[in-house]
Amino acid sequence: MRGAIGSAFTAAPGPLGAATWPSIATRLDARADGWRDAYAEVCAAARDGTAVEVERADRRRVCLHEQTHALDSALEVLAIADDDVIAHAPQMVEALPNPTACGGELAIAAASSLDAPAREQVRRTAALAESLILANKAALAIERIEERLAEPAIAADPAAAAKLGVLAAGATRALGDMQGAAAKLDAAYLQARTTDSRELVLMAAMEYVTLHAALREPKPARQWIERARVEARALGDERALAVLEGREAQAFAHAGDYAEAIAKANTALAHFDELGLGDTQPAIDVIANRGTFHFSRRELSLARASKLDALRRQATLVDGEHPMMAKHISDLGLIAMRSGDLDGAKEYLVRGLELVESAYTEPHPAIGESLAGLGGLAARRADYESARGYNERALANLIPTVGEDSAAVALIYNNQAAVLFRLGRRVEGIEAHRRAIAIKQRILGLDHPDLALSYANLAAALANEGDDAQVESLFRKALAIQRARDEPAPRLATESRMAHWLADRDRADEARELAERVLAAAEALDGDKVHALYALATISTGETRRAHARAALAIADAGETKLSLALRELAADAP
């Protein structure tokens, strides 16, 4: 199989397959050495061990034999060697079935009532599905899982149905159908709980953590992290515990507590280093996320240091021209843009786009995401026509590949709406906001915080359209969602914008009450104060007006935005 994979990689169109193959070959060889060592250890125990050790060795030999069949199924996906497989090959090799997992596999097998051939089919399908999901072929993974679950004996076996059900939920999540993923996962988790298999319960709990992280729902994510920890500790699974620490960092970030997120990320990285896993993909992802947390705190030098560290470690796993490098490079572009280095930002973002364009053919989601970054840069340069073009190209790459019902597509519609308003195309801008809302309603449900953000964005967009009742309704719908959650930062941002709108509508008492409440709370959270300060400046006079306007200007984003121009006028206003 190694030879077939090597031939497929080196024969693939473009230079990436041949460039990637040497590092993949080295890692496959290391895996092969691990399998040989495991078989040698089992044979030695069977030959020289006690009766108990011989019995354990026999069981492990059966497991190793079955695991090799699962390995063959996973390797079949590597041999496809198309753009997506080559791009994701490092993660696929890292996730291959390995001999150290036999303890867990034996426990899962013990929870199953299937005969050996049926168990082997389940294991093969699971390994195949995992590889397909990593290779951006989630729809095909679901097809294979459903084919296996169509067999009555397998569907009726709780252990088999739970294992395949969790993978089906992960594949459905990868396709962007979060509600469908949740329904499949609920069913799989209930089946796992009936099996007495901690391994299956942990597998389901880890997928719940991933799902709630993707949904940016910190409270349920942390609840599932604690449940998963219980199982991982009972099983002595230190790698899973390190991964959960990284997920906990994300949960704190999604709740707006970036300081705690950074602390949790550092704890996770120390754990990975203790395990000798500091240069593996999960650890690299935590380093990159830590950079994002620093970015959110406007700690740009620390953000850049983390992103460069992630880039350096990524380069130990893949060739410098590999598209996995593109995300880190593009993130450095966003940091440069926030720093005001727009020329440097363009260099990074263009380089990120070049890497994905050389690896993939359009349409492709990675190309779409890179184009969206360039759209943001063009908007920052006030080149709104170019920004509109980049966003349109981004959508043309994303919608055919991930479907319109995707969080990435909704985000681009929101960005495009702002651009269209700058171009004076207000009707199209409002329609883009409405599309973003419709997508989020379908994929996230009606009470998700990201939907609240879209309601607030649309309210701000409609502020000058004359329909005050609709604007107020949208603000209040957003606040109803946000006030039901223990996440004050998004709520304060919406209240700040609503105070701005109330001030512009000469509703001074309401604006003052809301703005003062925002300012009192935002001081402790480093939250959004600009719009609240604008509101107070608008309804004040004299030195008080100028002081509020100057305070807002000191923290407002640079540029000739409508808000900045209004604040400058208020700051210079005579008593």
What percentage of the chain exceeds 70 in pLDDT? 93
Q: How does residue 309 score in pLDDT terms, banded at 50, 70 and 90? A: very high
Q: pLDDT at residue 212 above 70?
A: yes
Q: From CA 467, how far away is CA 463, in angstroms rounded?
A: 8
Per-residue pLDDT, 333 = 96
Q: Are 226 and 209 within 8 A, CB to CB?
A: no
Per-residue pLDDT, 151 = 95
Longest dimension (CA), the chain: 96
Q: Which residue carries 């969790």 as its tokens?
A: 166
Q: From CA 565, how far away is CA 553, in angstroms rounded?
A: 10
Per-residue pLDDT, 524 = 55
Tell me the per-residue pLDDT of 243-301, one tens digit each, with 9 for 90 and over: 999 999 999 988 778 889 999 999 999 999 999 999 999 999 999 999 999 998 889 99
Query: Is 66 a member of any domain?
Result: no
Per-residue pLDDT, 15 = 82
Cα–Cα–Cα angle for 563, 567, 539, rounded to 5 degrees: 105
How many structural domains compose the chain? 1
Query: Is 474 a member of any domain?
Result: yes
Tokens at 560, concatenated: 């000739």
Q: From CA 298, how far away is CA 295, in angstroms rounded?
A: 5
Provide the 10 A C-beta neighbour count for residue 44: 12
Tell me the per-residue pLDDT of 310-355, one tens digit each, with 9 for 90 and over: 999 999 888 788 888 999 999 999 999 989 899 999 999 999 999 9
Residues whose CB falls within 8 Å of the CB of residue 473, separated by 6 or more in sequence, listed in order = none
Choose among 421, 484, 416, 424: nearest CA to 448. Answer: 484
Per-residue pLDDT, 74 = 84
Choose among 488, 30, 37, 559: nearest CA to 280. Answer: 30
Residues whose CB falls within 8 Å of the CB of residue 434, separated by 6 or more in sequence, listed in order = 458
CA 301 to chain centre: 23
Q: Are 488 and 524 within 8 A, CB to CB?
A: no
Per-residue pLDDT, 425 = 94
**Cα–Cα distances in angstroms (integers) from residue 423 to residues 207, 394, 395, 428, 464, in the given order:** 43, 19, 19, 10, 16
Q: From CA 75, how far away is CA 65, in angstroms rounded?
A: 16
Per-residue pLDDT, 522 = 72
Q: How does residue 560 score in pLDDT terms, banded at 50, 70 and 90? A: low
DSSP string, 441-467: HHHH-TT-HHHHHHHHHHHHHTTTTT-
Per-residue pLDDT, 183 = 94
Query: Is 565 a member of any domain?
Result: yes
Choose among 171, 117, 163: nearest CA to 143. Answer: 171
Query: For 406, which DSSP code?
Result: S
Query: Is 257 a member of any domain?
Result: no
Structural domain containing residue 555? 463-571
Query: Is 41 a member of any domain?
Result: no
Q: From CA 435, how far away is CA 430, in angstroms rounded?
A: 9
Q: Which residues of 93-117 are buried (b: 16+ CB within 10 A; e: fewer)?
A: bebbbebeebebbbbbbebbebeee
Query: Is 7 a member of any domain?
Result: no
Choose among 318, 104, 282, 124: nearest CA to 210. Answer: 282
Choose among 526, 557, 563: nearest CA to 342. Answer: 557
Q: From CA 198, how far away is CA 288, in angstroms rounded?
A: 31
Choose among 452, 454, 457, 417: nearest CA to 437. Answer: 454
Q: From CA 131, how far away is CA 174, in angstroms rounded?
A: 13
Mean pLDDT value across the chain: 87
My answer on whether omega of the bond before 363 falls inside 30° of 0, hence cis, is: yes
**Cβ-based burial of 224 (10 A; exposed 0-12, middle 13-18, buried ≥19):** buried
Query: Is 545 a member of any domain?
Result: yes
Query: Is 538 a member of any domain?
Result: yes
Mean pLDDT, residues 366-392: 95
Q: pLDDT at residue 506 above 70?
A: yes
Q: At what angle do helices 16-48 and 83-94 cross, to 10 degrees?
A: 30
Q: From CA 323, how far away is CA 306, in angstroms rounded?
A: 19
